[in-house]
Amino acid sequence: MGLPWARIVTSLREYLESSPLPSVSQISRSTRTPFHILVSTMISLRTKDEVTLAASERLFGAAQTPAEMCSLSEDRVAELIYPAGFYRTKARSIRETSRLLMERHGGDVPAHIDALVALPGVGRKTANLVLGLGFGIEAICVDTHVHRIANRCGWVDSRNPDETERKLEEVLPRRHWIEINELLVAYGQRVCTPTSPRCSSCVIARQCERVGVERSR
């Protein structure tokens, strides 16, 4: 018998109903533009949500399209997204990605994972988030929260995010693939934290094996 996924997802959704969405999810709801979702996801890596939101807003205020992004200097992009983590490296990747979108894809973001991960600064996590939020294509975006919670709960037993993605695809119904990221990211920030998770108030405690949990609240 499989896990009660509908109950798990509903419990998470109801608990987080009044909580702010992760930064890229907020951006995706204000603009369904795949390019904006792609760039904001690149900015979000190792960066707090509030910083990502402000940096993305400043950048998109100056450049809305790949062509406009190419017209900005690398220093200007870096200045606009500062203080995002690794802002200079991200500025270089954003400009180069914009150039390649113009050169290879006619200025459009490709709706295929192989083409996305061929872009600089774009891994499977970013690519899957763009596919899901930008195109509505069923894909599981596995970041540190999804990887941690899926293994902690015992839903999968995996060593890295790529393996977690493959194993979740085997057990998680496709209708939940897009939503699971934003649910677990928000839940991981508030309840299922990396250290000392709030197990006493967890709404999915019955579906959690607490693998590796040595101390909790």
Q: Is 75 a catalytic residue?
A: no
Taking the C-alpha atoms of residue 205 and residue 209, their distance in angstroms, rounded to an integer, is 8
Catalytic residue among 49, 75, 114, 125: 125
Q: 115: which DSSP letter?
A: H
Question: 162 an active-site residue?
Answer: no
Q: How many angstroms separate the CA atoms of 39 and 87, rounded?
A: 12
- Active-site position among 143, 157, 162, 167: 143
3-state secondary structure of 150: helix
30-64 burial, b at 16+ Cβ within 10 Å, e below that, comes to eeebbbbbbbbbbbbbebebebbbbbbeebbeebe
User: What distance in Å separates the CA atoms of residue 36 and residue 27, rounded to the nearest whole number?
Assistant: 8
Tell me the C-alpha distance between 92 and 115, whole Å.
Answer: 19
Helix spans in the chain (H) = 5-15, 23-30, 34-44, 49-62, 66-70, 74-81, 87-105, 113-117, 124-129, 135, 144-152, 161-171, 179-190
For the annotated catalytic residues, the residue numbers are: 125, 143
